[in-house]
Structure 1
Amino acid sequence: MPLSTSDRSLVEPVFRRLNVLRPLSAEARASLEYAMVEGLQRAGPSEDVISEGDPVDSVRVVLSGWLCRYKTLEDGRRQIVNFIFPGETCDAHAFLLRVMDHSIATMTPAVYAEIKRARFETLVAGNPTLSEAFWCETLVNTAIQREWVINLGRRVAVERVAHLFCEIFERLRPVDMVDGNSCVMPITQMDLADATGLSVVHLNRTLQELRATGLIVLRERTLTIPDLEALQDAALYSSSYLQLYRRG
């Protein structure tokens, strides 16, 4: 049965992002489209898609909304260890392990596709470009984690928050979620604090400093970066780890 226009629109971010890493064949695209549409799931904000300790038997691909990976200490303190944006997978190869070692939650209403392990393995076995694209994404995610470790361990607060904003902006580009020098910023200061290892009070002071120096404008759930190069300089930021321009 042919896919509807709305179905194609919903899954388009996935192909925009994967094509940056590996050009997909028409056959690979068609196979993945049907698998995603068949497995559509919806979730409200602040819902766990999968929790630490859960068995893993599916691949989840985000179609809309913002999610995060996080760990929680016994006393309730939370550390966000990465964001997951439209077009990205939650766990492309996590099913190779027995259980999840972290949790994944929605930060906004979200739509995602859940592809069972057997179906996913058949997809990638029959489409080498698709297999390579998902492995490339896994490698990029590993690079992002290394950068976040540097962020938490060595960058000061202003550099830390500026770096996160640069990364968000760059990761939203391939899925056409950047409008000029602005992008959506639908998450709370608590989320930003948990992602940067700062208290909410310290995070708020840091945002005020970035605003005062004209590096960012944060208003009505929209982030505007008047001069991206200046913000990158302030963050000691290089986007090479995201592999966004690999094909070029």
Structure 2
Amino acid sequence: MALTWVSEHNGHMLSQSAMSSAPPTHPLLARLQHYVQFADDERASLEALAAGPVITVRQRRDLAREGDKARGVNLILDGWAFRYKTLEDGRRQIIAFLLPGDLCDVHGYIHRELDHSTGAVTPVRYVEIPRERIEALVALGPRVAQALWWDASVSASIQREWTVNLGQRDALERLSHLLCELVHRLRAVGLADDNRCDIPLTQTDLAEATGMTPVHVNRMVQELRARGLIRWKGRAFEALDLDRLCNVAMFNPAYLHLDREGRHLDAT
């Protein structure tokens, strides 16, 4: 079933609370540690990014809209969001899913205005990190600086893989590849229990991310179920045979760069 997307201009439907607090160890740190291990002072600086104030956005509202003035960098603490582009006739393409621990374009603040919009799939809690704090982090030393570069590089790598998905994979491969990617990314921030996780996406979300119609997405989900590859009820998703699902998708997780490529910079 198609969703009605309600879009509010940046900030009008947001509530900001100085009383909100985030866990001392947030998913950004969990994810960055897949690239490199930090010293205690670096960990403390990264954890401080989640100190707030925390902004809460309701489900199916916008965090930011194309054309808004670029300010800081948004760090997702809880919930799912996505980047999207909309054509003049209202057609929309989802170009990335943003999970807890994701920075919404770590270098985006250098532009005059945003060239895409960011919307909330679920209720989202995030913090807006000022440019000065990002620059101060980079100044801490090569470990943090390169970890942030890896983060930006992986975002670009995911975008390249999505381009291949849309241009070369068939419908079943396309959906399977996206599901494999989401399982691996959720694992990286501790949000997947083995091959089980919450995936709160509708058929319309999946259609707009994979270039299919919602009806065709439904057919592909049923095909994966019939093959015994997935179980999916409501938000609860399980890859019953992740290896076979990866084979269907021709999925290689190397583009996610989660195997400690920066180990030579590890703090001792």
Match of residue 168, structure 1, among 182, 185, 190: 182
Match of 1:55 in 2: 69
Structure 1 counterpart SS, 2:34: helix
Measure, in 1, the Cα distance between the counterparts of 2:118 and 2:168: 26
1:7 counterpart = 2:7: no
Question: In the TM superposition, what are the counterparts of 1:148-163 in structure 2 within 5 Å?
Answer: 148-163=162-177
Residue 217 of structure 1: CA displacement? Answer: 1.0
Match of residue 234, structure 2, among 211, 216, 220: 220
- Cα deviation, 1:77-135, whole Å, max 9, x if unaligned, reads 11001101111101211111221111111100111111111222122212432221111
Measure, in 2, the Cα distance between the counterparts of 1:13 and 1:90: 14
Match of 2:214 in 1: 200
Q: Is the 8 A contact 2:207 2:213 kept in 1?
A: yes
Residue 21 of structure 1: CA displacement? Answer: 1.5
**C-alpha RMSD of matched pairs (Å):** 1.4
Match of 1:230 in 2: 244
Residue 53 of structure 1: CA displacement? Answer: 1.1
Measure, in 1, the Cα distance between the counterparts of 2:43 and 2:171: 42
4+ long deviations beyond 2 Å? 6-9, 32-36
Match of 1:183 in 2: 197
1:45 counterpart = 2:55: no
Gaps of 5+ in 1: 1-5
| Amino acid in structure 1 at the alignment position of 2:23 | R
Measure, in 1, the Cα distance between the counterparts of 2:123 and 2:52: 20
1:105 counterpart = 2:119: yes
Change (3 A) 1:179 1:137: same
Gaps of 5+ in 2: 1-20, 264-268
Using the TM superposition, name which of 25-34 and 139-148 deviates more.
Answer: 25-34
Change (3 A) 1:95 1:8: same
Q: Is the 8 A contact 1:18 1:24 kept in 2?
A: no
Measure, in 1, the Cα distance between the counterparts of 2:141 and 2:48: 14
1:122 counterpart = 2:136: yes
- Residues paired across the two proteins, number: 242
Match of 1:244 in 2: 258
Change (3 A) 1:36 1:127: farther
Q: Is the 8 A contact 2:231 2:238 kept in 1?
A: yes
Measure, in 2, the Cα distance between the counterparts of 1:169 and 1:52: 29
Residue 185 of structure 1: CA displacement? Answer: 1.1
Residue 54 of structure 1: CA displacement? Answer: 1.2
Q: Is the 8 A contact 2:29 2:43 kept in 1?
A: yes
Measure, in 2, the Cα distance between the counterparts of 1:142 and 1:118: 23
Measure, in 2, the Cα distance between the counterparts of 1:51 and 1:24: 34
Measure, in 1, the Cα distance between the counterparts of 2:172 and 2:43: 41
Residue 212 of structure 1: CA displacement? Answer: 0.8
- Cα deviation, 1:30-72, whole Å, max 9, x if unaligned, reads 1232232134211111111111111111011111100101001
Structure in which a larger fraction of residues adopt helix: 1
Q: Percent of pairs identical after alignment?
A: 44
Residue 27 of structure 1: CA displacement? Answer: 1.0
Q: Is the 8 A contact 2:204 2:214 kept in 1?
A: yes
